[in-house]
């Protein structure tokens, strides 16, 4: 009888531990940055407007023969885009993107609001990114 109780206790403990581990894994996945992909062609981004939920993102930028090197600048809407102090620096790609390549930014947390994105290396218009 003691053996049966010990086995039942072990199974219940294992079940609770498994559920706790599953929840921790799900929580980590929910908090992992989502990847948002941008593509640049000559003089423009192919994504003209974007809407996201508030959260943490990694921005991936592909250079589709747009220019020798391209990048990404993200600025809260209404701020002077020419002033680097207003740029969200974590949204910069970690390395200028050469033709035919893709590079990523650091994890960037965005709150609700409007932002503009553009590339000064492959001069593009300023596009709107809305965070709900």
CA distance 26 to 63: 33
- How high does pLDDT run on average in the chain? 88
pLDDT digits (tens, 9 = 90+) for 72-117: 999 999 999 999 999 999 999 999 999 999 999 999 999 999 999 9
What is the SS3 assignment for 75? strand
CA distance 91 to 55: 13
pLDDT band at residue 31 under the 50/70/90 scheme: confident
Angle at 119 between CA 51 and CA 84, to 5 degrees: 95
**The pLDDT value given to residue 2:** 61
Exposure string of 4-42, with b = 16+ CB inside 10 Å and e = fewer, is eeeeeeeeeeeeeeeeeeeeeeeeeeeeebeebebbbbe
**The pLDDT value given to residue 77:** 98
Looking at CATH, the fold of the domain delimited by 34-131 is given as: Immunoglobulin-like (2.60.40)
């Amino acid at each position: 009888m003691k053996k049966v109780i010990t086995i039942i206790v072990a199974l219940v403990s294992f079940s609770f531990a498994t559920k706790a581990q599953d929840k921790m894994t799900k929580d980590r996945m929910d908090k992992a940055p989502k990847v948002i992909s941008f593509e640049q062609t000559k003089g423009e981004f192919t994504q003209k407007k974007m809407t996201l939920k508030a959260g943490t993102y990694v921005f991936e930028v592909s250079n589709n023969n747009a220019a020798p090197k391209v990048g990404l600048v993200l600025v809260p809407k209404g701020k002077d885009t020419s002033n680097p102090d207003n740029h969200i620096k974590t949204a910069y790609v970690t390395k200028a993107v050469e033709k035919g390549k893709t590079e990523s930014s650091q994890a960037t947390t965005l709150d609700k609001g409007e932002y503009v994105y553009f590339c000064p290396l492959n001069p593009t218009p300023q596009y709107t990114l809305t965070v709900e």
